[in-house]
Amino acid sequence: MVNLLNIDLAAVDWARAQFALTAIYHWLFVPLTLGLAVVMGIMETLYYRTGKDFWKETAKYWQRLFGINFAMGVATGLILEFEFGTNWSNYSYLVGDIFGAPLAVEGIVAFFMESTFVAVMFFGWNKVSKGFHLASTWLTGLGATVSAWWILVANSWMQHPVGQTFNPDTMRNEMTSFADVALSPVAIDKFVHTVLSAWVLGAVFVVGVSSWYLLKQRHLEFARKSLRVGAIFGLISSVLIMLSGHHSAYTVAQTQPMKLAAMEALYKGGTDQPLTLIAGISPFRQPDYETQDEPPLKLAVPYALSFLATNDINGYVPGVRDILDGYTKADGTQEPSLEEKIERGRAAIAAIAEYRGMSEGVKSEGVKSEKFATASGNLQTDSSLFTLKSSLEENMPYFGYGYVSDRAQVVPYIPVCFYAFRVMVGGGCLFILLFLIMLWKPKTWNYWLALLCIPIAYIVSEAGWLVAEFGRQPWTIQDMLPTWVSVSQLGSSAVMLTFFLFLILFTLLLALEINIMCKAIKKGPETNNP
């Protein structure tokens, strides 16, 4: 296994920072791509049904903005995937057979689907039939959504590894069921919630841009109709995301209880748990969860957390201390304490080392590895290998804990999880209010609010990913592989250099996108209504 003495811990921090930087910049482009894909499909559908050139020019306008954003997203996404090989080679070696599968499908199917139909969408207006062009527009958006599906499947597997088993002969985790990986409850929940959040952001963007035209008294018909389409689309997406959020909370409670405890700053759990609205948690330091039962100045909704986590207002929800000390689950099974998990994780690591040493000895005698258990010619060796394999299978679920040395290492940074979750939920409530106002009776100050909501939508979207990724720390793969074991054997100086190079590159790309988008918005749609 990995020799921890050879790992530069500064390199771990820089590798995490670089990956976070790339992911944050990449996610600035992805949600708008997914959101505008539906909007431009709706606009072209209206053109197909009515035959009015107004809707054709409206569709072409939103397609232009989609295209600018799409190109930037591809550039940052490619770099993100390369980093798995450069900075996280131990991770890639251990689980590449599993993690690589959905990414391969994404590249082969979804990306080629997008690139094929996007060409027809942009350049086929006068070359193909209206029906075929409409299909190409929707298939472009579908391709982008399918691409998101496979990437989110890969990410969800890191949050909840299923459909795999560890092979001590190859020292790799191998897939046992592609269906379990692709259709896990975590993957489905994450996909639905993430895509809906992207639709909300796209709707906010459309409403905000349309409001700018109304403030400038330009392209009034285009602005009013686009605003209405965006507000209806956004309101429907917001209602759906509320429903998916409840189901996501339930799934997190079942698969990642520590994440839920960090999101709620729940130090000591129990039954009849309230949902915290706000509490006095310092954003600059980890709270004293070992001695406090709850944060100060806590304002909460009675029973709401128990309902979200268990679908029962009286349900039991474990807190940080309960998870560290061990607790009884709802099904009556006992969750081991952290100390027990560490002991069993170290037993798994020791069993792997002993198994490898013994099997290498058998190999040196000319016995093929696939015949260890039946034809080694040494019954004592066969029995020992079988015993080690049994011990390994029993303790492998806690393998990652073998690299943990203290309780603080397995508790996520609570302030980030706590406040990011509330930014996400609070922003979602604001957007529902915005869409309702715009559909009811918009006024001038509403247009300014819509413009302000565009950057807020990006902050809310990024906050959702902060909850998802900070909440599973310190794990690269939940319970299986900590971040400090996943990293490549690199010096911190090399990763630090590329971090700043990427920071400059991505900032330039973002500035370029904003500049091009602003010019396209300022120019406006090519309609006869100025």
pLDDT < 50: residue spans in the chain: 1-5, 367-377, 379
* Whole-Å CA distances, 380 to 349, 374, 377, 404: 22, 12, 9, 34
Q: What is the pLDDT of residue 90?
A: 87
Q: How far apart are CA 240 and CA 199, in angstroms?
A: 10
A 10 A CB-CB count for 160 gives: 21
Helices of type H across 294-376: 304-310, 320-325, 338-364, 372-375
Q: What is the pLDDT of residue 99?
A: 86
Q: How far apart are CA 168 and CA 4, in angstroms?
A: 20
Q: How far apart are CA 228 and CA 25, in angstroms?
A: 30
A 10 A CB-CB count for 133 gives: 21
Q: What is the pLDDT of residue 365?
A: 54
* Closest C-alpha to 253, from 285, 275, 233: 275
Element at 185 (helix H, strand E)? helix 185-216
This prediction has a pTM of 0.90
Q: What is the pLDDT of residue 313?
A: 93
Q: What is the pLDDT of residue 366?
A: 52
Half-sphere exposure (CA, 13 Å, Cβ side) for 218? 12
Q: How far apart are CA 31 and CA 420, in angstroms?
A: 18
Q: How far apart are CA 215 and CA 225, in angstroms?
A: 15
Q: What is the pLDDT of residue 368?
A: 47
Q: What is the pLDDT of residue 417?
A: 95
Q: What is the pLDDT of residue 190?
A: 93
Q: How far apart are CA 146 and CA 191, in angstroms?
A: 10
What is the residue extent of each domain of the chain? 19-255+413-470+490-523, 262-335
Single-letter amino acid code for the residue at 130: K
